[in-house]
Chains A and B, each alone.
Chain A
Amino acid sequence: MNASTAALLAGLVLLFPLAGSALCGLLGPVLGRRFVNLAGTLSIGAAFAVTLVIFAQVLGAASGHQSTTATLWNWLNLGPGNLNVSVDVTIDQLSVLMLLVITGVGLLIHVYSVGYMEHDPGAARFFSYMNLFIFSMALLVLAANMVILIIGWAAVALSSYLLIGFWYERESAVLASRKAFITQVIGDVALVIAAFLIFVNLQAVAPTCPPTAVCGFIPGHLYTLSLPQIFANASSLGAGSPLITLICILLAVGAFAKSAQFPLHTWLPDAMEGPTPVSALIHAATMVTAGVYLIARFHMLFEMSPIASGMVACVGMGTAVMAGFIALSQVDIKRVIAYSTMSQIGLMIYAVGIGAYAAGMYQFLLHAFFKALLFLAAGNVIHAVHDEQDIREMGGLDSRMRVTAWCFLVGSLALAGFLFAGMFSKENLLGFGLINGPGAPTLYIVGIVVNLLTGLYAFRLYGTAFRGEPRSEAARNAHESKAVMLWPVIILAGLSVLAGWILQWPVAFGPHLIDAFLNPVFSQYVGRPPATAPGLWLGVIGFVIGLTCSLIGIAVGIRIWVRHDLDPSRALARPGFRLLPRLSFNKLYFDQIYDALLVRPTRALARGLRRVGDPVMDSWIKGVSGVATDFSSAFRTIQTGLIRDYASYMVLFVVIFTVAVMLAAGLAK
């Protein structure tokens, strides 16, 4: 693909959602709901169509020529040795895979939203924000310049803020959106600092800048934030140096904030305050996967810093276990799924941390299908039981919402990693953990626990919400959703069932198509040799162990919550375990800890400063304004509107002037 084609196609992918956002936002309220529904979904449909063209182009390109970087326009040019930002886009296997999910799953979610938001008066605003979300995410993955990437990064945070707080009359929604945004900003700041560090420290590796030429203020310094240049010259940052470690940790903090990893994870469950399609979009297609993408995109830098990548792997796996544990006792249907996302994203982060990038992206792809499926199916449930989200108030929905229940079961199996999507990607990912990563295979063993937990909470959710007898009037009267909300769910269920088998054919634990597709990206710049795939026998063993654990989790989950012939309360009443349910239910008290450690001291400080600052600041500000006010009000009384007054002023000043002139003349003599 030549550069101008790439620029055109990437420009179109970006333009359609942006135009859709503007149209829905500006004309939507005037032209009505039909227009909004059409413009909002067609824009994403068009972007998806263009993405398919790009995908075909990338597939068809000769090997070694699949990556194209094109300049849309030159944004900022401050001369050599200073900041130069051109709006560059990169089309390669990684960005096109991301785009396929973002626009493809995004399209299904938009179609679903047509039904979900049917009775909401703010539909125009909703679709405007959703399109903006898709645009921001597309900008983020296409960016070939760190400035552009950060703009996309921040725009994603903005759109999530707008969507989480979509029902702004609800206080909890506003608080949740604020929390999400503040957490995002922490990540943004880390990312910006990382960009600064790269900007000032990056030096040209020999051939790009001959020693006699001046490439910046300091000879040899590049002063660029263009990603291909950063990667090509990354070795100048010094492999294993404190600098590269710092940069990578800052990048990782950015990724953790976006991907809801410990310790910046608390915003994600609260983000469930937004409408359900938003949750699906945040969790499946966009946003939380941005952190995984970021680390995969900057893999060259992470490979140069074993400390940072090891930390990423540990945090990822730690979050995966933690979220799985918390998900076991949550009662809000969406929150359980939110914690499952956090857990699955943790696995992805772990994968990119140990250098198994393709495995991480594989998990991302399949996760997008079954997570969007789970959320949209949950949306159907919530719709059917009149906005009730507590699973204790549901039950017995499988006979009342047959299609949704089946789809949800497919999603749960895919999530738990049996037969469908999750089985392939998760075992593949954990297989890498057998021989890679810090202290291998320690984290692999933790990963197996995650498998167990996933099976448990997935079937706790399914069993409690869909099986048994209905436990509320709303659940008894629940009925299936209409077609526009059912078809996206069915399509996603189909994808969850088939995608893994197709991509993995013919062997479940062997190399998969995504691996072959993405590997050129990750071998283009190499900091250290990437993770090695486990050999055939080790792979089989890992696969079998992982699958067994998933199955144990599923089986126990089914026995406890579907068939009710196993009661965990006795086991949990024992002294050592008594604390566990409380810890899980209260989300390990993270919100309370942060509240006590950060929110309250900050508030107290602010109040204290206000007590001191208000009098000080106010006194001089009020003094200045007071002088001006007094001055003007003194002069205002002169203007009476009476001609006689004006005439007397005239006479008065003529007399004063005359006397003054005469005095001056007299003095001069």
Chain B
Amino acid sequence: MLSQSMFPWILLTAAFLFTLGALGVLIRRNPLVVFMCIELMLNAVNLALVGYSSYLNSEEGQVFAFMVIVVAAAEVVVGLGLLTRVFSIGRELDVDDLDEMKQ
């Protein structure tokens, strides 16, 4: 059982990790790194959820964290599938290069 006084630090860590992930998504151009940053954001949220769960003495946050992990795994499967397809048609792996949505 964590001490109650640690709770703000947990939230701050989660917020820091989330910001780091968000910045990575926005700034980095390699899709693999972008994915990792998304994972980072998801895990920051997980950390916040678990922190709240402990703070509020409730299991719901932890259950929800498991949900997030499952969704993150599914998202990675889809995302990496897309990336291998992009790579196999001979395109450079650069998110700025994939702007066909504009048309």
Contacts and interface: CB of A to CB of B under 8 A. Distances in A.
Interface of A: 639-644, 647-648, 651
Given A648-B26, A651-B22, A651-B26, A643 B102 contact: no
Given A651-B22, A651-B26, A644 B95 contact: yes
Nearest to B97: A642
Contacts of B102: 639-641
A641 B25 contact: no
Nearest to B102: A641
B88 interface: no
Nearest to B103: A641
A655 to B, nearest CB: 10
Contacts of B22: 651
A421 B22 CA distance: 102
A644 B101 CA distance: 12
B48 to A, nearest CB: 14
A641 B101 CA distance: 5
A640 B102 CA distance: 6
Contacts of A643: 34, 95, 98
Contacts of A647: 25-26
Query: Closest 5 CB pairs between A and B?
Result: A641-B102, A641-B99, A641-B101, A643-B95, A648-B26
A639 B102 CA distance: 6
A648 B23 CA distance: 9
14 contacts: A639-B102, A640-B102, A641-B99, A641-B100, A641-B101, A641-B102, A641-B103, A642-B96, A643-B34, A643-B95, A643-B98, A644-B25, A644-B27, A644-B96
Interface string B1-37: 0000000000000000000001001110100001000
Contacts of A648: 26
Contacts of A644: 25-27, 29, 95-96
B83 to A, nearest CB: 12
A643 B82 CA distance: 14
Contacts of B95: 642-644
Nearest to A648: B26
Interface of B: 22, 25-27, 29, 34, 95-96, 98-103
B26 A642 contact: no
B37 to A, nearest CB: 10
Contacts of B103: 641
B25 A642 contact: no
Nearest to A644: B26
A552 B25 CA distance: 109
Contacts of A641: 99-103
A639 to B, nearest CB: 6
Nearest to A646: B101
Nearest to B22: A651
A644 B103 CA distance: 17
A640 B100 CA distance: 9
Contacts of B27: 644
A642 B101 CA distance: 8
A648 B34 CA distance: 13
A311 B96 CA distance: 86
A643 B95 CA distance: 7
A639 B26 CA distance: 16
Nearest to A651: B22
A552 to B, nearest CB: 87
Of A641, A642, A643, A651, most buried by chain B (CB within 10 Å of CB) is: A643
A467 to B, nearest CB: 78
B13 to A, nearest CB: 19
A643 B94 CA distance: 10
Nearest to B25: A647
A647 B28 CA distance: 12
Given A639-B102, A641-B102, A647-B26, 13 more contacts: A640-B99, A640-B102, A641-B99, A641-B101, A642-B95, A642-B96, A643-B95, A644-B25, A644-B27, A644-B95, A647-B25, A651-B22, A651-B26
A341 to B, nearest CB: 65
A365 B103 CA distance: 71
A648 B101 CA distance: 16
B74 to A, nearest CB: 19
A641 B96 CA distance: 8
Contacts of A651: 22, 26
Nearest to B101: A641
Contacts of B26: 644, 647-648, 651
Contacts of A640: 99, 102
Q: Which of A639, A644, A648, A651 has the most CB of B within 10 A?
A: A644
Contacts of B34: 643
Contacts of B25: 644, 647
A121 to B, nearest CB: 45
A647 B25 CA distance: 8
B98 to A, nearest CB: 7
A635 to B, nearest CB: 13
Nearest to A643: B95
Nearest to B95: A643
A657 to B, nearest CB: 15
B63 to A, nearest CB: 24
A642 B95 CA distance: 7
Contacts of A642: 95-96, 99
Contacts of B29: 644
A26 B102 CA distance: 44
A644 B96 CA distance: 7
A554 to B, nearest CB: 83
Nearest to A654: B22
Contacts of A639: 101-102
A148 to B, nearest CB: 55
Nearest to B31: A643
A639 B98 CA distance: 13
A644 B99 CA distance: 10
Nearest to B99: A641
A644 B37 CA distance: 13
A135 B20 CA distance: 82
A641 B98 CA distance: 8
A639 B100 CA distance: 11
Nearest to B34: A643
Contacts of B96: 642, 644
A651 B102 CA distance: 20
A19 B25 CA distance: 70
A644 B97 CA distance: 11
A641 B99 CA distance: 4
A420 B36 CA distance: 107
